[in-house]
Amino acid sequence: MSLNLGKHSFATTDLVVMAIINRTPDSFYDQGATFDDKAAMDAVDRAIDEGADIIDIGGVKAGPGIEVDAAEEIRRTVSFVEAVRQRHDSIIISVDTWRHEVGEKVCQAGADVLNDAWGGTDPALADVAAQFGVGLVCTHAGGHTPRTRPHRVTYDDVMADIVQSTVGLAQQAVERGVRKDAIMIDPGHDFGKNTRHSLEATARLGEMVQTGWPVLVSLSNKDFVGETLDLPVDQRLTGTLATTAVSAWLGARIFRAHNVKQTRQALDMVSSIRGDRPPAVARRGLT
């Protein structure tokens, strides 16, 4: 299935990097390093230089923390979306939100994608995507309330639940008028899942790919990587890149990442091994 976002079209063989820009003071990864407007814009510029195809802007920390209402989320994101659009006319802008009120405002400001990480908690978000003709990410979160952590969550078959949920959300989105060629599905690593669930979701990612919907994975420095290797947040890059490479080999197409340069290199290597991308240079054995 082709994927068309903003001014860009992606072939099924393209591996797309979505750079994370947190407009929060309490992000689990950077603890507010890009909460300031200038720092955030510098991070956008750097991400694009390093090979990002999509900039994903989030105004609310995914996990538990200080309460952020819709008005505050709008304050953190809308003006920044406008600024990024003015500075980078062709870059694809995504906003990580589950609220339709926020979705409407950021689309008016120039967003191209609504990244719903909480599994359709607010069904009206799909209506906003349809209204503005933008992309939508349909994520499996196990039915959990936004910003809550799983507690002794169980599944009879975690991948069966993921496929049923995400494909169902994608089909509902099409019925609401969202463009079919702008919808992505996401297994939701760590969302409504323990570490074993996230590992199994990765190993069986091909089952999502077989549905035909473009698969997005958000793996970057997550807790399932940290628990698997028993490492803190600032030491999870190697594990993240290993999981990224496996996911790409199994057919995932969009990769949400903090470390853009390293992610781009890992994906380029996978593309070249698959035969979809020639080596950047060819010298060895030729002279």
Catalytic residue positions, numbered:
222, 256
Neighbours of 86 (CB within 10 A): 9
Kindly give the residue spans of alpha helices, DSSP state H, lying in the chain. 37-49, 70-87, 100-109, 124-132, 158-175, 195-203, 205-209, 223-229, 237-250, 260-274
The residues facing 185 across adjacent strands are: 138, 215
Q: How much of the chain is in helix, strand and coil states, percent to nearest 5?
A: 45, 15, 40
Distance from C-alpha of 126 to C-alpha of 129, rounded to nearest angstrom: 5
As given in the structure block, the two tokens for residue 230 are 């028993």
Distance from C-alpha of 26 to C-alpha of 56, rounded to nearest angstrom: 17
For 280, counting Cβ atoms within 10 Å of its Cβ (0-12 exposed, 13-18 middle, 19+ buried), the class is exposed
Looking up tokens 């950077």, which residue turns up?
Answer: 30
